[in-house]
Amino acid sequence: MRILELFKNLAAIPHGSGNTKAISDYCAAFARERGFEVLQDQWNNCLIRLPATQGKEANPIVVLQGHLDMVCEKDAGVSHDFEKDPLDLQIEGDRLFAKGTTLGGDDGVAIAYGLALIEDPSIPHPPMEILFTSDEETGMDGAIGLESTWLKGRILLNLDSEEEGVFITSCAGGGEICARLPLFYEPCTKPVYRISIEGLQGGHSGAEIHRRLGNANIILAKVLAGLSCRLISINGGNKSNAIPRAAEALCTMDSPVDSTALTELLLREYGDREPDLKVIVETATADRQLDEACSKAAIGLLSSLPDGVFEWSTEIEGLVETSSNLGILTTADQQLSLLISTRSMKNAKRDAYQEQLIALLERFGFAAEAGGSYPAWEYKSESTLRPIVAEIYRQHYQKEPAFIALHAGLECGLLSEKMPGLDAVSFGPDIKEIHTPRETLSLASFQRTFEFLKAILAKL
């Protein structure tokens, strides 16, 4: 399977968010070696222009788009260095995965598809602009910085979805809130303990927020709020768009608490969706603790912070309209830092929710600001692309496709702003548990979706 070989080549190049120059240069060189026009910019966006195959020269330009970066998550104890090490790809039956880490199927499949089209001149297609954007996972910086004059096409096939046969036609917009609390210390006066939350599933803070998965940062804060303790430090999560799987705090207490009892108490609330949740309490050492005011402010804010689904859509049953995720929590340099990802299907509600969160943060003494906002991709009622996609899907699969709205963010909203009149659909093969080390790609679906993509291009 050629697309699998191309994917393996990409997996050998470290390409986490913020580290996309090497993979952008690889794609650019791949296209230039085959004689195609290539543009790159300071964001590491890469645009490759493919002339139409014979007989399709007069057809409208089609933009094929995916992002270069991947979310870098690994299991505890795994020594993988995402800055230097290639992914350790494994195959079991139909499942492709990376040992101990995320796979990068989101969105390596799109890059592999694009390179396969560049490589094979026998695949019929209209004039094409293959766009690989950078840093989608951490704020869509590449799409934000993209020069709007680069793209001439107004038909977009976005390949950043993870369920075969399900086509995205609109999605949430989002942004981030960064907040900091100055910390003041005094000497420890009681025994020191480390309290850890472990065993959570984690997941995508948009696509899986409706599952009510446990957020380790929030759960740990609730545990601390129920104890007579003085906080020293608290840390959890490492990606704003990933639901944290683990978190830990150092604190002082008169005596240790029963970790088994705490675990059982939390399982009563979370056990139906987080059966492996556990609390670990260990003795530790430290020479200073937060003063009483700082400790109360930190625990008070974290234990009362809204997280997860904030509001459900009144227009589409079962669709999350507005949500947030406390993705990163760190104690360093005499400050407590928070990074919260917010999403909404409506830009006005996103902004209002961010204002509400900032007001709450400021009441507890945090300095907070919103940034990294990207717009929602609103549904286009008139589309020439959707009927074509639906017709070809019926021919290939002998069943009806599903067209849906998605609470996760896609770059289609930003590209729609830059390309007035854009007609877009997002789709992709089956990828399970993205943004976690359990991520797997179905190889059969990977190949079927590529054949489906080729059929669409032959029709356009």
Q: Are residues 440 and 292 in the same domain?
A: no
Name residue, tokens 């645009």.
47
How do residues 146-185 score in pLDDT, each as one tens digit? 999 999 999 999 999 999 999 999 999 989 999 999 999 9
Q: Are residues 264 and 342 in the same domain?
A: yes
Domains: count for the chain: 2
pLDDT > 90: percent of the chain: 89
Name residue, tokens 């050998």.
12
How do residues 374-406 score in pLDDT, each as one tens digit? 889 988 889 999 999 999 999 999 999 999 998
Whole-number Å distance between alpha carbons of 282 and 270? 23
Q: Are residues 33 and 69 in the same domain?
A: yes
Q: Specify the 3-state DSSP secondary structure of 395.
A: helix
Mean pLDDT of 52-61: 97
Residue 66 has pLDDT above 90, yes or no: yes
pLDDT at site 239: 85
Q: Are residues 220 and 248 in the same domain?
A: yes
- Report residue 42's pLDDT band, with 50, 70 and 90 as the boundaries: very high
- In CATH, what number is assigned to the domain containing residue 97? 3.40.630.10
Q: Are residues 446 and 325 in the same domain?
A: no
- Pick the catalytic residue from 73, 106, 129, 136: 136
pLDDT at site 380: 86
Name residue, tokens 């004059």.
149
* DSSP assignment string, 154-216: -EEEE----STTEEEEEEEEEEEEEEEEE--EEE--S-EEEEEEE----EETTTTGGG----H
pLDDT > 70: percent of the chain: 100
Question: Is residue 382 a part of any domain in this protein?
Answer: no
Q: Are residues 128 and 179 in the same domain?
A: no
Question: Is residue 167 a part of any domain in this protein?
Answer: no
Q: Which domain holds residue 23?
A: 2-161+410-459
Amino acid at 438: R
Q: Are residues 130 and 222 in the same domain?
A: no
Residue 5 has pLDDT above 90, yes or no: yes
pLDDT at site 254: 95
pLDDT at site 218: 97
Q: Are 170 and 345 in contact (CB under 8 A)?
A: yes
pLDDT at site 381: 85
Query: Whole-model pTM?
Result: 0.77
How do residues 9-34 score in pLDDT, each as one tens digit? 999 999 999 999 999 999 999 999 99
Residue 69: active-site member: yes
Question: Is residue 430 a part of any domain in this protein?
Answer: yes
pLDDT at site 371: 87
pLDDT at site 190: 95
Question: Is residue 383 a part of any domain in this protein?
Answer: no
Question: Is residue 399 a part of any domain in this protein?
Answer: no
Tokens of 280: 């670990």
Whole-number Å distance between alpha carbons of 448 and 460? 19
Q: Which of 352, 374, 396 is the last residue of a domain?
A: 374
Question: Is residue 265 a part of any domain in this protein?
Answer: yes
Q: Are residues 254 and 364 in the same domain?
A: yes
For residue 346, the tally of other CB atoms under 10 A from its CB is: 18
Q: Are residues 133 and 212 in the same domain?
A: no
- Report residue 340's pLDDT band, with 50, 70 and 90 as the boundaries: very high
Residue 61 DSSP label: P
Residue 123 has pLDDT above 90, yes or no: yes
Q: Are residues 196 and 130 in the same domain?
A: no
Residue 135: active-site member: no
Mean pLDDT of 64-81: 95
Question: Is residue 387 a part of any domain in this protein?
Answer: no
Residue 393 DSSP label: H
Q: Which of 374, 401, 425 is the last residue of a domain?
A: 374
Q: Are residues 444 and 330 in the same domain?
A: no
How do residues 249-294 score in pLDDT, each as one tens digit? 999 999 999 999 999 999 999 999 999 999 999 999 999 999 999 9
Helices 292-304, 347-363: inter-axial angle, 10-degree rounding: 150
Question: Is residue 395 a part of any domain in this protein?
Answer: no
Q: Are residues 109 and 197 in the same domain?
A: no
Q: Which of 374, 400, 418 is the last residue of a domain?
A: 374
Burial bucket for residue 222 (CB in 10 Å: 0-12, 13-18, 19+): middle
Strand partners, 328: 339
How do residues 304-330 score in pLDDT, each as one tens digit? 999 999 999 988 888 999 999 999 999
